[in-house]
Amino acid sequence: MSASFERGINSFKEVLDAPIASFFSSCVHCGLCAESCLFYTETGDPKYAPIRKLEPLRRTWFQEYTLLGKLAKAVGLSKPVTDAELEEWAPLVYDSCTMCGRCSMVCPVGNDLTYAIRKMREGMAAAGHAPEGLITATSRAITSGSPAGVKWATVQAQIKRMEKQFSMTIPVNQPDVDYLVLMSSWEILNYPEYLGAVGRIFKQAGATWTLSEHAYEATNSGIQIGVSDLARELVGRIVKAAEDLRVKCVISPECGHAYTAIRWEGPNLMGRPFGFEVKHILEVLDELRSAGRIRLKGTIDKPLTYHDPCQISRRGGVYEQPRKFLKALAPNFREMSDTGTMNWCCGGGGGVGANERAEPLKIVAFKRKKSQIEELGVDTMVTACANCRVTIEEALEHYHMDVEMLGLTELVADHLEESAS
């Protein structure tokens, strides 16, 4: 893949579609997108206004696909996009946007700016302006199967650990089962308890499931960086494993962008609907509980709140399921001021977490979440995305905040009727 400015502009032209054209046509420069974006609210720097992040893409559209723009370009009233400009824009497109989608919920003319940023990244990457951290993560994902370089041997080690800890057998490469379980690098490395939790829950539910040594990693940095070819390659591995094993459903783990990648973008990357279902683990847990296949016991009485991972809630539609569990398990569950589909991002999604250049900005952006937590006065926060969890845990450390983070799947597993003490 050789990057060049020309390829970048061609990619811009290719990704521009009717929705984006309508968004650019409708913008009235009201600035409300900035007010909805944590990178603006926490820095006060106008350059982080979401619509501005799209300026090179907007000008490409104006000059290439509108009569007025063509005329303006011909007489020199609209300057062509330059490579230097794309370079200047890279930190805006990659470092100060987590594709959280909050601006898309707020824009009064209905612009889905996140949709456009996702597409714009295709051109930015093609022009060679993707951040180093994301390029490395994507290359590792292609060569080793995981953006963090996690090999199957590492997964095997964690499988053994969980099998020993919970006295269970974790099935691998089992065909004709209900579920193919995927994990994110963070879960494999930092939170292997997720795997143990899934095993315990499925045991009670009597669900058949498996891991696949050919497709264990759910995260897709090809989507975060904006290279559809690579994203397709990564999704393709999961699709092949799911089809080879003839599973009924692929479960996206507690990882927001992984869910977007496999559930919403996956079929479009492959150019066809899948022959199996794709669900987020919270959806599966909710279904099992509704069907009476898992039973809960006991409660956590301390006050706690739930951080909605953007890609699971706002961009994924899974916001009722976690609340059903929390209402059942935590009598002192409290909602943050902006919550559900209007929740504020942790600041580390959309590849920002893998982008070292963005690190200082990410910490500043976290001040939004910090004030939400402080306003509520809780010291326990549950979430359902390992990337959110890592971002938040790091930032809590930075700000010397004593708040415990919990994964919802583990919380459910810890309160299964059988395992409750």
Partner 1 sequence: MTCLEILTWARGPGLALALAVGVFGVLLRIIEIQALGRKPDFATPRDVTPGSGWRTILSRSLPPPGMMKRAPLTYFGGYVFHIGLAIAVFGFAPHIELIRGLFGIRWPGLPNLVVDLATIAAIAAMVAVLAGRLADPVKRMLSGFGDWLAWALTFAPLVTGYAAFHHMTEDYTLLLAIHILSVDLLLALLPFTKLFHVVSLFVSRWYNGDIAGRKGVAA
Q: Does 372 bind partner 1 (CB under 8 A)?
A: no
**Tokens (6 digits) for 232:** 């397709």
Q: Does 104 bind partner 1 (CB under 8 A)?
A: yes
E strands in 192-276: 209-210, 249-252
Q: Give SS3 for 406.
A: strand
> What is the number of alpha carbons within 13 Å of residue 150 lying toward its C-beta?
24
# binding residues, partner 1 (CB under 8 A): 62
Residues 245-284 that bind partner 1 (CB under 8 A): 263-268, 270-274, 277
Q: Give SS3 for 346.
A: coil
Q: Which residue has the tokens 């997720």?
A: 194
Give the Cα separation of 176 and 59 in Å (integer): 51
Q: Which is nearer to partner 1, 49 or 245 (CB)?
A: 49
Pick the stretch among 171-179, 198-206, 285-293, 338-346 that binds partner 1 (CB under 8 A): 338-346
Q: Which is nearer to partner 1, 123 or 316 (CB)?
A: 316
Q: Which is nearer to partner 1, 116 or 155 (CB)?
A: 116
Residues 3-32 that bind partner 1 (CB under 8 A): 16-23, 25-32
Q: How far is CA 309 from CA 100, 191, 249, 318, 410, in A?
A: 9, 17, 22, 9, 16
Length of the chain: 421
Q: Which is nearer to partner 1, 30 or 157 (CB)?
A: 30
Q: Does 49 bind partner 1 (CB under 8 A)?
A: yes
Q: Does 115 bind partner 1 (CB under 8 A)?
A: yes
Residue 211: DSSP 8-state = B
Pick the stretch among 36-44, 168-176, 178-186, 395-403 that binds partner 1 (CB under 8 A): 36-44
Give the Cα separation of 230 and 403 in Å (integer): 37
Residues 78-97 that bind partner 1 (CB under 8 A): none
Give the Cα separation of 24 and 293 in Å (integer): 49
- Residue numbers of the site for partner 1 (CB under 8 A)? 16-23, 25-32, 34-36, 40-41, 44, 46-47, 49, 51-52, 65-68, 104-112, 115, 263-268, 270-274, 277, 314-318, 337-338, 341-342
